[in-house]
Amino acid sequence: MSSLSKTDILKMAEENNVKFIRMQFTDILGIVKNVAITVQQLEDALDNKIMFDGSSVDGFTRIQESDMYLRPDYDTFTLFPWRPDEGGTVARLICDVYTPEGKPFSGGPRNVLKKALEEAEEMGFEMNVGPEPEFFLFQLDENGEATTITHDNGGYFDLGPVDKGENARRNIVLALEEMGFEVEASHHEVAPGQHEIDFKYAPALRTADNIATFKFVTKSIAHQHGLHATFMPKPIFGENGSGMHVHQSLFKNGENVFYDGDDRLGLSKTAYHYIGGILKHARAIAAITNPSINSYKRLVPGYEAPVYVAWSSANRSALIRIPAARGNGTRLELRNPDPTANPYLAIAVMLKAGLDGIKNEIEPPEEVLENIYEMTADRKEKLQIESLPSNINEAVDILAGDELIKATLGKHVYEHFVIAKKAEWDAYRTQVTNWELEQYLTTF
């Protein structure tokens, strides 16, 4: 049930001088789409009467079946903390996409997550998720185009004058808090120009909505500061890339079911089985959590990002880490996702993999306390430690063999996702890069 009613929203719009409303949804690749309406159309929008042309959105529908309806989630009504040049306030509503027959559209990523959450609910679980998205702030050139020139030489957690992106980051955090986000921490990251903003954990659907809005707000406010914010995982060779570690836990009747005070690590059987499920499906999930060609330039040894399918209570080279908090703070942290992932699809596939572990009581292997990057190939083989895929093409091929993850996405999303990724790989594979010219042009 929504905590906001139609009357509440109309009243808030009037009291805050709302002139425009952005009806937001994401396409299969996670790009936020907007249908902008005026406040005069708000009542119709709240009655699910706003239509859009689904054939104009990549991977949605063909021309002959293009009409789609936007059904706003009343609880996502919020005001953007800036005003357009025309004056008045702009509000946002996140929407589910429906067919003209009144059915949830199977190609809508938010619908995919809701379906996965229904299964968790049937098992008595509520999923909480806390993401840690990283991003770079780059300077613009004289034409207003993005560069890869950073505006600072700050380092991890740096404070003060050296961190010139601090003003931008502070304004991003203030804007998010005005919109109702609970920001746990924000700091400079390891690489020049790199920042991280961590959200307090929240129910999975709300978190996915927040990630989508967060990217939009970050880019808008960076632009106001004359900077370009990018969530590209590896924009600078030789520097750490941007990840989006995802903390996750399951609750039942307000209690964290991952916690067991009698266990050596304070973890319950449910937690171990959830870890087992994620590790079982990790290589297939990578296509969704790391969906770009550039994602795999981040997932290489030596730069903090995980490469190996293992878990640990203390080891940051493992794919899954168990942070120290226990009791209701007990959770696991999946460390390979990056912020190019569609948050709805990524959370859906993580959850379904974990639930598969719980249903089938999948025991995880022993935790790995050694630094996996320093292990020999023989040692890794002995411990049965597999690697994540090395590129998006390999990841998509592994996804094709995982029936559970394919079923989670549904036929429509899976097929359109694969078509898009294969086309991307082909375009990339046939490019002649500067690296090749530098290596071979004068050598041969």
Type of residue at 35: V
Out of 27, 134, 163, 260, pick the active-site residue.
134
- Measured distance between the N- and C-terminal CA atoms of the chain, rounded to whole angstroms: 68
Q: Is the dihedral of CA 400, 403, 405, 410 positive or negative?
A: positive
Inter-residue contact 334 to 354 (CB < 8 Å): no
Compute CA 361 distance to the chain's CA centroid, rounded to the nearest angstrom. Answer: 27
189 is catalytic: yes
Q: Active site residue: 71, 228, 281, 335, which one?
A: 335
Question: Does 22 qualify as catalytic in the annotation?
Answer: no
Q: Annotated catalytic, 121? A: no
The closest alpha carbon to 92, from 104, 79, 101, 82, belongs to: 79
Residue ranges for the known binding site are 132, 134, 184, 189, 196, 199-201, 240-241, 245, 247-249, 298, 304, 316, 333, 335
Tokens of 276: 């087992």
> Of 83, 170, 316, 379, which is the active-site residue?
316
Q: Report d(CA 249, CA 350) in Å as an integer.
A: 11
Decide: 37 and 109 in contact? Cβ < 8 Å: no
Going by the annotation, the residues of the binding site for ATP are 184, 199-201, 247-249, 316
Does the annotation count 381 as an active-site position? no
Residue 340 region by backbone torsions, left for phi larger than 0, else alpha for psi between -120 and 50, else beta:
alpha
Measured distance CA(284)–CA(396) in Å, rounded: 7
At residue 228, what are phi and psi to the nearest 5 degrees? Answer: -115, 125
147-159 as b/e: b if 16+ CB within 10 A: eeebbbebeeebe
* Known binding-site residue numbers for Mg(2+): 132, 134, 189, 196, 245, 333
Query: What count of residues does the chain have?
Result: 444
- 178 annotated active-site: no
The yes-or-no answer on residue 415 being catalytic is: no
316 is catalytic: yes
The answer to whether residue 196 is catalytic is yes
Of 14, 43, 53, 438, catalytic: 53
Q: Which residues are annotated as a binding site for L-glutamate?
A: 240-241, 298, 304, 316, 335
**Catalytic site includes residue 333:** yes
Of 198, 239, 333, 367, which residue is the catalytic one?
333
Our CA dihedral for 435, 438, 440, 444, rounded to 10 degrees, sits at 180
Rg of the chain on CA atoms, in Å? 22
Active-site residue numbers? 53, 132, 134, 189, 196, 245, 316, 333, 335
